[in-house]
């Protein structure tokens, strides 16, 4: 029986190891991919490592991650060890009570802890940034240290400290020279857990940070919003750093023991001082990288511009060149949705530039969260396309300057979907059983209800409850009978690889998909669609208004607008840039997705209506429940 079980056990072990390590190996291999795809290897290249090293954001995130992890580990290890020793000498009722208190953060979901920290900092009006992230990391690491140290303390003779003091040791000496050496394995384990938890944390860090301070987990989350192979490079670097750290931790004791045995009497071991020196130099380098500042006599030297925008939504050269030209420092924060952005702005957080969508600009303007632009300080208005001016959300262009614009349509595989089906059915093609199980829906209540309403011949801005209910029924039928995959930005790479026949998609994402795969097309139904605009605005509480105007002018300049649109793939509002990128020899020549449809009566811009938004949000939740039940 035993012999029969061994092969099964070995097989399970191998499968388990493969399950854990193959994804990491896959990521490391694709960090050397020449192309942008995250799924198809096109050739060996170091371009993404070069991009990572040239990216100030990634290097700062790397510094933030490991500097906070080291500081949080040291502070929490010292505090947790002292607390554990103190508890061991406390009365049983206090010890039991504190044990339960210590277990509470361990059992709490991270999101609860994160929101608690966020509310604490907001209540006491603490500026969120590096220090708030460090304090939060220290706080959630301490319970793990206490949990690791307490068993070691319980295994000690309770009279050990008293015996040491009877022999002349002072209380501090009794702790540091008698107790701590005995519990060092537990302290070391607690420190490792604290370090691991700090490096790994995302949720708590995400809620307690601000002022552009990001660790690697936040950076990777932001980068994952669009196709960015630098994710693989920076993740591989972290894996290598952790592997080297583990190697040092495991090899160091062995080497020290060998050197101790070989050392001559009276000679000190050089290994420990060398290791300490290396660690010290590493910390100094990290601090130097994180605190390096350059003096300058440029016009805005020493000033800081705070920008709040969607992630991965700006060209690579814009921020470095703007900083070099003005001497200012740009602090970039990213939001996942317009609603998330609204909460921060409404709560009084100060930004100089915000880039929301059309309907949210209308809301911010109506609620007096925006200030009018100083037209005398703007030199870019004449370069804008007529199609992006005087839109409903800002009819006189007093509050906003367009950043990107586009439409929502259907991206499809020309080898699987006929243009005749698209032309005859429009958005109703998502109910065509021919494509059952071969479609993507976008996980956005606005866009999904827009599609359903347009398919039924209604306005996407309808306030009629009957029409909204009809759209709800349309979507329930779709998710119940068509087995769609409901996704967000992963549709970009998936459709570029032709994994489904069709999907609902933003025009800018379709532009990238079509540039990567010639078999992909983009269709805007004759039933009409959403014509959207993302624009730059200045909040009412902005602190650096003049520099904000300078940034708007800089982004709208031809060279920067070209870099921006060429890198991101969304349509530029600058007429010359749009024409050059879509014209002969341009990056997007022959790609119809790059050119939004204009002057089409059935295309609409979203209008904000609070009550309708609540209704749609509730109905979309029910649609997703129906989708889950249909699986």
| Chain segment 511-529, per-residue pLDDT in tens | 999 998 999 999 999 999 9
Question: Residue by residue, what is the 3-state secondary structure of 404-420?
Answer: EEEEEEEEEECCCCCHH
Q: Which CATH architecture fits 405-532+588-630?
A: 3-Layer(aba) Sandwich (3.40)
| Domain 304-404+534-582 is found in CATH 3.40.720.10 | no
Task: Please indicate whether residue 521 or residue 228 has the higher confidence score (pLDDT).
Answer: 521
If you classify domain 55-228 with CATH, what class do you get? mainly alpha
Percent share of the chain, pLDDT over 70 = 91
* Pairwise CA distance, residues 309 & 329, whole Å: 16
* Pairwise CA distance, residues 371 & 175, whole Å: 61
Tell me the angle at which helices 545-556 and 558-568 cross, rounded to the nearest 10 degrees: 70
Q: What is the structure's pLDDT at 227? A: 64
Q: Which of 96-100, 153-157, 281-285, 483-487 has the lowest mean pLDDT?
A: 281-285
* Pairwise CA distance, residues 402 & 531, whole Å: 13
| Chain segment 181-219, per-residue pLDDT in tens | 899 989 989 999 999 999 989 999 999 998 889 998 988
Q: What is the structure's pLDDT at 161? A: 78
Phi-psi region of 75 (alpha: psi -120 to 50; beta: other; left: phi over 0): alpha
User: Which one, of 145, 284, 130, lies nearest residue 212 by Cα?
Assistant: 130
Q: What is the structure's pLDDT at 6? A: 56
* Bridge partners of residue 505, in order along the sequence: 409
Q: What is the pTM of this model?
A: 0.81
| Chain segment 372-390, per-residue pLDDT in tens | 999 999 999 999 999 999 9
Q: What is the structure's pLDDT at 256? A: 67
Q: Report residue 425: phi and psi, to 5°.
A: -110, -25
Percent share of the chain, pLDDT over 90 = 57
Do the domains 405-532+588-630 and 55-228 match in fold?
A: no
Q: Mean pLDDT of all residues in the chain?
A: 88
* Pairwise CA distance, residues 77 & 256, whole Å: 24
Q: Tokens at residue 536, please?
A: 């730059």
- Provide the 8-state DSSP code for 597: -
Q: What is the structure's pLDDT at 292? A: 46
| Chain segment 336-354, per-residue pLDDT in tens | 889 989 998 998 889 999 9
Q: Where are the domains of the chain?
A: 55-228, 304-404+534-582, 405-532+588-630
Beta pairing class for 520-523 and 400-413: antiparallel
Does the CA dihedral 87-93-97-100 come out positive or negative? positive
| Chain segment 290-348, per-residue pLDDT in tens | 444 444 578 899 899 999 999 889 998 899 999 999 999 999 888 888 998 999 899 88
């Amino acid at each position: 029986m035993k012999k029969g079980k061994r092969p099964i056990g070995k097989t399970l072990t191998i499968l388990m190891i493969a399950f854990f390590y193959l994804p990491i190996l896959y990521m490391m291999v694709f960090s050397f991919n020449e192309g942008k795809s995250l799924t198809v290897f096109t050739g060996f290249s170091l371009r993404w490592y070069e991009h990572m090293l040239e990216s100030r954001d990634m290097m700062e995130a790397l510094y933030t991650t490991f500097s906070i992890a080291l500081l949080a580990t040291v502070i929490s290890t010292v505090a947790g060890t002292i607390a554990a020793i103190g508890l061991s000498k406390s009365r049983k009722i206090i010890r039991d009570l504190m044990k339960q208190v210590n277990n509470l953060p361990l059992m709490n979901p991270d999101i609860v802890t994160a929101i608690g920290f966020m509310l604490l900092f907001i209540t006491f009006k603490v500026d969120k940034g590096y220090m708030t992230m460090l304090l939060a990391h220290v706080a959630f690491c301490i319970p793990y240290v206490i949990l690791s140290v307490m068993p070691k303390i319980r295994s000690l003779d309770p009279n050990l400290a008293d015996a040491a003091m009877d022999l002349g040791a002072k209380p501090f000496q009794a702790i540091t020279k008698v107790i701590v050496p005995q519990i060092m394995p537990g302290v070391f384990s607690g420190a490792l857990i604290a370090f691991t938890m700090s490096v790994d944390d995302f949720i708590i860090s995400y809620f307690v940070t601000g002022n552009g301070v990001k660790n690697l987990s936040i950076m990777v989350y932001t980068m994952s919003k669009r196709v960015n192979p630098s994710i693989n490079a920076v993740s591989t670097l972290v894996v290598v750093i952790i592997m080297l750290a583990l190697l040092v931790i495991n090899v160091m004791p062995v080497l020290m023991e060998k050197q101790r045995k070989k050392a001559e009497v009276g000679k000190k071991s050089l290994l420990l001082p060398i290791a300490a020196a290396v660690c010290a130099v590493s910390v100094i380098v990290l601090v130097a990288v994180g605190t390096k500042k350059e003096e300058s006599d440029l016009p805005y030297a020493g000033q800081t511009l705070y920008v709040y925008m969607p992630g991965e939504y700006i060209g690579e050269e814009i921020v470095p060149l703007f900083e070099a030209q003005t001497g200012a420092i740009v602090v970039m924060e990213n939001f996942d949705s317009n609603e998330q952005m609204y909460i921060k702005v409404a709560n009084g957080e100060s930004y100089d530039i915000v880039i929301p969508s059309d309907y949210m600009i209308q809301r911010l303007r109506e609620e007096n969260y925006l200030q009018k632009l100083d037209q005398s300080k703007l030199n870019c208005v004449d370069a804008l396309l007529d199609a992006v001016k005087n839109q409903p959300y800002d009819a006189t262009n007093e509050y906003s300057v367009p950043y990107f614009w586009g439409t929502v349509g259907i991206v499809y595989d020309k080898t699987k979907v006929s243009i005749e089906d698209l032309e005859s059915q429009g958005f109703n093609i998502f109910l065509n059983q021919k494509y059952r199980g071969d479609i993507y829906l976008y996980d956005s209540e606005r866009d999904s209800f827009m599609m359903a309403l347009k398919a039924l011949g209604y306005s996407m801005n309808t306030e009629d409850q009957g029409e909204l209910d009809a759209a709800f029924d349309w979507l329930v039928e779709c998710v119940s009978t068509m087995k769609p995959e409901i996704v967000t930005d992963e549709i970009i790479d998936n459709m570029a690889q032709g994994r489904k026949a069709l999907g609902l998609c933003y025009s800018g994402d379709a532009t990238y998909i079509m540039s990567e795969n010639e078999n992909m097309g983009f269709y805007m139904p004759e039933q009409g669609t959403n014509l959207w605009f993302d624009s730059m605005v200045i909040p009412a509480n902005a602190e650096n208004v003049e520099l904000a105007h300078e940034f708007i002018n800089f982004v709208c300049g031809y060279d920067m607008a070209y870099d921006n649109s060429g890198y991101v793939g969304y349509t530029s509002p600058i007429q010359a840039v749009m024409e050059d990128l879509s014209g002969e020899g341009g990056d997007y020549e022959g790609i119809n997705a790059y050119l939004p449809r204009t002057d089409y009566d059935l295309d609409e811009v979203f209008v904000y209506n609070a009550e309708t938004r609540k209704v749609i949000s509730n109905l979309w939740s029910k649609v997703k429940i129906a989708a889950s039940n249909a699986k």
